[in-house]
Amino acid sequence: MSTAAASEEGLDRRVATLFIAPFLLLGVGNVILILFWGVNPLWGFLILPPILFISVIGWIGFRTGFIRNVGEE
């Protein structure tokens, strides 16, 4: 692997993290808000896996360029 490819891959990871971080923080903030309201903690654990799953799928999509290359072939 060349150094240019390695630095571009690191940049893609950083950009993907910057794009996904607000959504992840918003989701985790909602879970924390639900727990502070005094709702049963089970609801927090039920809501957290979909938030994490969608965040990981979005991060992979941004990192690999799948989202940028739609319709380009």
Higher pLDDT, 48 or 69: 48
| Cα angle for residues 73, 4, 62 (degrees, 5° grid) | 50
Dihedral sign (CA 6, 8, 10, 12): negative
Q: What is the pLDDT of residues 17-53, one digit of tens each?
A: 999 999 999 999 999 998 899 888 888 889 999 999 9
Cα gap 8→13, rounded to integer Å: 9
pTM over 0.85, yes/no: no
Q: Would you state the pLDDT for residue 4? A: 52
- Spacing of C-alpha 61 from chain mean position: 9
